[in-house]
Amino acid sequence: MCGAEVRWAPVAAPVAAAKKAVATNGTKMEAPMPGMIKSYKVAEGATVKKGDVVLVLEAMKMDNDMTAPCDGVVSFKAAVGSNVETGAVMAVIS
């Protein structure tokens, strides 16, 4: 196609993936440091009391027990084995 006129059509920019919605009603359990969620210590939907261990966050090869900040029902927002950054919502207690 030598000598043929080439026209370029504009291409739309890729759309960023939507962030997973996080429940706003309830108390958020945020990661205090970057790490990996090693295990859940209670089941999804379990009723917990303030101070109960909800999950284990592994950071720098140390296991850190993450405790419930209040009484309520647990809803996990991060899966076991997933890496989280500081401030990421790991669970919501409502």
Q: Are 89 and 22 in contact (CB under 8 A)?
A: yes
Q: What is the pLDDT of residues 13-65, one digit of tens each?
A: 444 433 344 445 899 999 999 999 999 999 999 999 999 999 999 999 999 99
**Of residues 58, 87, 89, the one with CA closest to residue 75:** 89
| Radius of gyration of the chain measured on its C-alpha atoms | 21
Question: Given its phi and psi angles, is residue 90 left (phi above 0), alpha (psi -120 to 50 degrees) or beta?
Answer: alpha
Domains in the chain, start-ordered, CATH in brackets?
A: 27-93 (2.40.50.100)
**What percent of the chain is helix, strand and coil (3-state, nearest 5)?**
0, 40, 60
Token pair 């027990």: residue: 65
Band (pLDDT 50/70/90 cuts) for residue 66 is: very high
- Residue 53 and residue 31: Cα distance in Å, rounded? 14
